[in-house]
Structure 1
Amino acid sequence: MIVRRYGMKLKELLVNTEYKMINDLNPEISDVVYDSRKASDSTAFVCLKGYTSDGHKFAKSAVQSGASALVISDELDFEVPENVAVVKVENTRLALALMSVEFFGRPAEELMTVAITGTKGKTTTTAMVAEIFEQAGIKTGTIGTLGIVYNGETIKTDNTTPESYEIQKAMRDMINAGCKAMVIEASSIGLKHHRLAGMT
């Protein structure tokens, strides 16, 4: 069994990501975050660009909170300290997904995964497929409109298809709880934002 690795080197997390190092640093990374309020010592902060906000504007705050690496797609408006690694990528959402896959030990390699997409019926179909697995004796978790569900517990999520980091974390947690399969609702916005990238 692959277990989640704490304290991975930055370049280990970037192994499947196309990137350019702005400075040649390779710090130890304790976590990957995309909310500057969650940045702390030794975290890698990924600057996501949304419809109403841009993570690049919060990069300075993340550094002040202890982030040791920044993953960017645009130029920053402040001078980054010399001890903070800066990684430039074309798409930070894709980078977050691929980094999360590595951080959580590639859980899709251990978990039979089914993604359900379409305009209507995703939630119902997800529940039906999960029940088929359960009836076959395969312990199954689900991710979708109802939240992250496994072991009889439900964790609420903000989106039908959560951010890639949350998906990878949930998959690792499901594996640790004994799940052998997962069924996930793949929304169009989730696919557009690469939230399921790196899972095949």
Structure 2
Amino acid sequence: MQNDQASRTALLIAASLITLHHDQKHSGLVSKTSAEFCGRVLDSYSAKTRLLSKIARQSWFRAIARMIERITIPGILLHYALRKKCIAKLARAALANGGTQVVVIGAGFDPLSSELRREFPTALFWEIDHPATQRHKVRACSEIGIERLHFVATDLSGAALDGEPLIKSSFDPTQRTFWI
């Protein structure tokens, strides 16, 4: 990944979630909030992703996406949505049962931390991801950069995950933490 470009995987998954949200059969798997969040990110990233955000909502594009999916990795779009739904359910359960912190490694453009922050007002959240991906996420959705949501910029492609940046950003290793 280049230093100034967001993760292509994060961009692809954002477009996939928009596509699924607008599909009658799978719309219940992706919340409106999540689809809108992904749309804001794609709309602000570049002219190409702005176009992708618009066409991902169209039925003719969903037909093409399903065909490409069948040829390449059958079921991957559904996998993205179901995996995110399962992780969200587990995170909510962890917080409801006494967890006080959530750390998301490789968060990409997923809005889960922002959604959970609203539901669990005393919990703290950290997202660890590539600096460029985080920069674009924060720029697109400035309301997420608040005191209980911390962004830890780390290139995960080559370096070992170091706990020092987390601790410097108020992470408390003695607290019950849900790791994603």
Provide TM-score, normalisation by structure 1: 0.27
Bigger share in strand = 1
- More contact order relative to length (CA 8 Å, sep ≥ 6): 2
Provide TM-score, normalisation by structure 2: 0.28
Bigger share in helix = 2
Q: Which has the larger radius of gyration?
A: 1
